[in-house]
Chains A and B, each alone.
Chain A
Amino acid sequence: NAGVTQTPKFRVLKTGQSMTLLCAQDMNHEYMYWYRQDPGMGLRLIHYSVGEGTTAKGEVPDGYNVSRLKKQNFLLGLESAAPSQTSVYFCASSYSAGGIDTQYFGPGTRLTVL
């Protein structure tokens, strides 16, 4: 099993450019999440999904969009990148959200916006 994979691993963008981060999981998990990790801020939830075709806003959703067209994939889009979006982005998935299941994390995408 590959677990949770993220594409790409690194990316540099110019202000105003767009990009899509891809997360894939092979564990048949219903729940998927996008976080960003910034120095001194910890991990913060951007968006999450409780199943195929559904998405919801997390703590810091502004400037991001997501889609969950297939159960195994969760896409994070930046329509017009800003320097404030320079961060490390982590995707995670879990079987349920009921308290007995942990979240499995991908290796991260390091994004720099110039």
Chain B
Amino acid sequence: KQEVTQIPAALSVPEGENLVLNCSFTDSAIYNLQWFRQDPGKGLTSLLLIQSSQREQTSGRLNASLDKSSGRSTLYIAASQPGDSATYLCAVLNSGGSNYKLTFGKGTLLTVNP
């Protein structure tokens, strides 16, 4: 059974700091890994999707890497802003028995202080 772990559970940083969120997964037979953002009381918004054959994806100040063999991904946020405050969720899409299952981590709650 796939398990996804996110560390840290919560992170508080001053505005302008660069930061890294970590995600690890137990089963490397994945189709892709995705990072989502969730604002309080809202749904999830996809930030980056890395296919299993890729090593990283970038969007603006966000960069996500994937090391499938070691079961790890990182989300790097450059020059953090208060508007980046949210919960960040990592999810992996499993191949194999069920092609349609996204397994989510419990998230990292990020607070960027002005």
- Asked whether A99 lies within 8 Å of B31 as measured between CB atoms, the reply is yes
B-side interface mostly: strand
Q: Is A81 an interface residue (CB 8 A)?
A: no
- Count the B residues whose beta carbon is within 8 Å of the partner chain — how many? 26
CB within 8 A of B46: which of A41, A99, A102?
A102
- State A46–B38 Cα separation when bound (angstroms): 20
- State A67–B36 Cα separation when bound (angstroms): 27
Interface centre among B36, B95, B104 (most CB of A within 10 A): B104
Interface size class of A (residues with CB under 8 A): 20 to 34
- Asked whether B104 lies within 8 Å of A42 as measured between CB atoms, the reply is yes
Within 8 A of A (CB), among B2-22: 4
Q: List 18 A-B residue pairs with CB atoms under 8 Å apart, sorted by A's residue number.
A: A4-B43, A33-B100, A41-B106, A42-B89, A43-B104, A44-B104, A45-B101, A59-B101, A90-B43, A90-B44, A97-B93, A99-B31, A99-B52, A102-B34, A102-B46, A103-B46, A107-B42, A108-B43
CB within 8 A of B31: which of A90, A98, A108?
A98
Q: Is B51 an interface residue (CB 8 A)?
A: yes
Q: Please report B residues at the A interface, Cβ cutoff 8 Å.
A: 4, 31-32, 34, 36, 41-46, 49, 51-52, 89, 91, 93, 95, 99-102, 104-107
- State A42–B5 Cα separation when bound (angstroms): 10
CB within 8 A of B106: which of A33, A40, A100?
A40
Q: B45 contacts which chain A residues (CB < 8 A)?
A: 105
